[in-house]
Every structure is written in C-alpha cells, then in structure tokens.
Structure 1
Amino acid sequence: MDVAAYLARIGAPRPAAPTSASLAALQRAHVQSVPFEDYDIHTGVTISLEPDVLERKIVQRHRGGYCYELNGLFGALLRELGFAVTLVAAFSLDDNGTRGPDVDHLRLLVDAVDGNWVVDVGNGARWPQPVPRRPGVHGRVQVYRDGDVWWTTERRGDGSWERGWAWTPQPRQLADFAERNRYQQYDPSSDFVGRRVAALATPTGRISLVNGVFAELANGVRTEREVSAAEEWALLADRFGIVLDRPWAERVPVLTSC
C-alpha cells in the first residue's frame, strides 16, 4: 500500500504513534474526504474486494465505496500505521433477537496504544469518530453487549435511539465478505440495487444524494430537494468528488447465479 498517497487522499498527516487521538483524526479526515457511495453498481462496474483494486479505486481514482470497500481498505491503512485491527462481520439484530445475514456489514475493532475502539467509515458517513469499545452512551452512539454479541444504537435528530449493527468479535478476512458483496451488487432484493446513494460527512453535518434527492444536514438543520439527472451528475462531482465516466442505468442487470 502507498501509505503516503492514501494519507494525501484524505488530507491527513502521518501520525507519530498509533494513539487514540491520531485514530480519531484519521477517521474524521476519512469520512469528510471519501464518500460512501454505490454508483459502480448502477454504472455496471463490478465491485472487487481485492486490496490492489480497492486502492486504485479509492486512492488513485478518488472514488468512494460501501462498507466492504471503505472499511476494508481503511483497516489495511491502520495496520500500516501500527494499529491492531480486527475485521468483524456485522448483522441486523431486532428487539426480538432475530438476526440478519452474518456478513451484511463490515466493521473494524481497532486497538490503539491507549484505548480500544469500534471504527466504521462505511456507515453512510454517520460515524465521524471512533466509538469506545465498552458498553455505555458515547455521544450519539450507545454500545451494548450480551455475551459475545455487541450492538449499537444511534441517536436520531428527534432524540430517539435507532438500532444499528450488531457483531461478534470473531476475526474475519476481507475474502469472507465476497459472496455477500456479490449479493449486494446483483440481487434484486439488495438495498443497493434499488438505490443510488452517496453520502459524505462535513465539518457541520452531512450531505447525501439518494435516488435524485439531495439532502444537507448543517448544524442540526436538514434541508432536501429533488434534482434532475444532470444536476445529480454535477453534484456528484462538485460536492462528493465523484467523477463518473459513464451514465447510470435505471435498472441494473441481474445475474441468475447470485
């Protein structure tokens, strides 16, 4: 990995040591520079989880990606910088204990020299900083644990708490997510197949584009508006740094062997 190029991509200096403060600075820089987005799915480009392909896409071509891509590559960067990183498979978990697919999301457990954290730069630009890896309320995120199962809830704008992803600490490899990555791209029941999305954190909140609706959250105030296809294309470049070389399709071809 070209660490210097990756750090330049997110506008962050190389940390002197793998501390909690440097981890927070890296995550904040990442979510404000690298968008969460799925436009490859809608332009017919296969999403690969090979590390060299991810580096070319995110670092060299200045694109974003979704959880497997963003957390997968960011985890590799953190290892290069001296952090201990464990990839974990995350899943939905409802109030009745019903679990979704085990590898529906990828999160990172990161150990700094002075703390243990949950890191997620692939969560729709909703986590601007690491979350302490211990049960309790940590700002807008609450962490729970029941034996080996951990999960989070996130505070909404109206003050209520929304259930987030759950996980177990079993270490995973990026290749473990390959089959689910294929599902996310091609299966008609995948949320990503039916939804063009881009999201990026900002110093005062978050911007997003979802199926032609541009929304901005700034200092707690949310605005949104529908945009034309031409304006969506322009916004992708101007606000998210996503420059596409082909138009998106209204429908994505479905492979029969998903």
Structure 2
Amino acid sequence: MSFKKEKYLQKINCSGNLEPNLNNLKELQRHHLLNIPFENLDIHNNISIELSIDRIFDKVVNQNRGGFCYELNGLFYELLNAIGFDVKMISARVFNQDKGYGKEYDHLAIIAKINGIEYLTDIGFGEFTFEPLRLQLETIQNDERGDFKIDKYENGYFRVNKIENKKQTPEYIFKNKKRKLTEFEEMSNYHQTSPNSHFTSKRLISLQTENGRITITGNKLKIKELDLTTEILLENEAEFKKELWVKFKVKI
C-alpha cells in the first residue's frame, strides 16, 4: 500500500506532535479543508473514480488534486487511523429541498471517539464546519462557518442541522454505525454516472480559505471573502484552466 502518513501531513501543512486528541483533530480538519479542494473534475473528464486508497492517495497527494466525499473522507479516515485515532466511517443521506433525503451511502463521513466522547468530522461536504461537531443532541454548536445542531430523526438516524437567522435547515442524516469503504461503491458509481446526480450536472472545484471560499462552478469563478463576494465569468476553456492553476494549483 502506498499510503504515506508523513507525505499526506506535508500536503496539508501539518507537523509536530500529532497525538490522537481533540485539539489535533481540529487542526487536522482545518488544515485539510484549507489545502485540499472538494472537486468533481474527473467525472466531467470521463475518468472513473475507484474507491481504492492507493489510487485516491496518488490522485490527491501525489498529483495535487482534490476529490468528492468518498475520496476525501476515505483518505482522511486512513490518516486519522494511522495517527492512532479511534475512528469509523459512517453512511449519511444528504438533504435535498425538492427530493428529501438521498439513499443510504449517499455521503461518507467519519465518527472519531476521543476520551469516550464521539465527534462528527467531515472534510468532504463542501460548505460545512471548520471543526468537528460533538455528537451531543439538541445543543447549538458554534463554528466559524455557522451554527449547527444535531438531533434525533427517525428510525435510528441522527440529523445534522445548520441554523441561519434562527431557521434550522437539515444537512444530512446518519446512523452511528461502522461502514466499510467498499459499501459506498454503488452510490459512488451512481454519483459519477447518473443524470440525477448533482455531481454530473456541472464541473465544480471549491476550497475553503481563512475568511471565505473560492469556487468554480461550471464557467463561473466565485470568490467569497468575509461579506464580499466577487463573481467572474470564465469565457473559455483556457481561462478555466488558468484559474484552476492560479487559484487551486490544479492541472487537468
């Protein structure tokens, strides 16, 4: 196996004493979000994404790319496990305003247990939290990227909600049940090929910054910095590839 912990840590600019504690989990999540983009570019270049840690590591770390949830959280799980965290992969079902919740294995996230307390850590969900969420019900948790609350849903599911202007909107539901990466293969293939998947509709690459986010969706570059948002139309493929390199250091 080609998984190399030190090279991965170098990629996300993390170093020092990485004991499996909460502070280090927070640092690892933050550094990951600031250094590795969420993207679906392979899907639009007709390159099959296989749920192989070797292939994902080569793509993300060696080739300086990003990925979607199965790749990013699958790789992050391996890093946390290698450091010594007590972690498990979980299946989540993402909320859609029009369609309700997706199928099982719609999304891959991670639960880490530290000193008997469980935390939801997720670096593969686009606009989400900077820090792990404690698996504590009916408690508003303040994060740099918003306020969140976990509550019980139905049929044994937990629900993650984002709170904005006193309005609560579901992000996804999940069961606190250990899963294997191979169990996500069917839904990974669905999201790569189905016209009903939002991943097949437009090219997307997005990276958190300390004060906002940089995103290319389709042919539009969006730069969010604090309360200021700038949008730039990319006129052609050459401009797209130029901004891909300038903003994300990604070549395709």
User: What is the TM-score when the length of structure 2 is the normalising length?
Assistant: 0.90
The correspondence of residues 29-178 of structure 1 with structure 2, limited to 5 A, is 29-92=31-94, 99-113=101-115, 115-135=117-137, 136-139=139-142, 140-146=147-153, 148-156=156-164, 160-178=167-185
Distance 2:128 2:20 in 1: 23
Contact kept in structure 1, 2:91 and 2:174, CA below 8 Å: yes
Shift of 1:93: 5.0
Q: Which has the higher contact order (CA 8 A, sep 6+)?
A: 1
SS at match of 1:32: helix
Shift of 1:215: 1.2
- The answer to which of 176-185 and 14-23 deviates more is 14-23
Contact kept in structure 1, 2:153 and 2:173, CA below 8 Å: no
Find the counterpart in structure 1 of residue 232 from structure 2: 225
Shift of 1:110: 0.9
SS at match of 2:150: strand
Shift of 1:213: 1.2
Give the aligned CA root-mean-square deviation in angstroms.
2.1
User: What is the TM-score when the length of structure 1 is the normalising length?
Assistant: 0.88
Q: Does 2:193 match 1:211?
A: no
Shift of 1:219: 1.5
Find the counterpart in structure 2 of residue 242 from structure 1: 250
Contact kept in structure 1, 2:39 and 2:68, CA below 8 Å: yes
Which runs of 5 or more residues in structure 1 are unaligned? 245-258
Distance 2:96 2:37 in 1: 28
Match of 2:207 among 178, 197, 200: 200
Contact kept in structure 2, 1:20 and 1:113, CA below 8 Å: no
Which runs of 5 or more residues in structure 2 are unaligned? none
Change (3 A) 1:212 1:94: closer
Distance 1:60 1:177 in 2: 24
Shift of 1:111: 1.5
SS at match of 2:46: coil
Deviations 1:72-118 (A, max 9, x none): 000110000111111111003579x9642011111111112474210
SS at match of 1:208: strand
- The answer to which of 105-114 and 136-145 deviates more is 105-114
Number of matched pairs: 243
Contact kept in structure 2, 1:35 and 1:125, CA below 8 Å: no
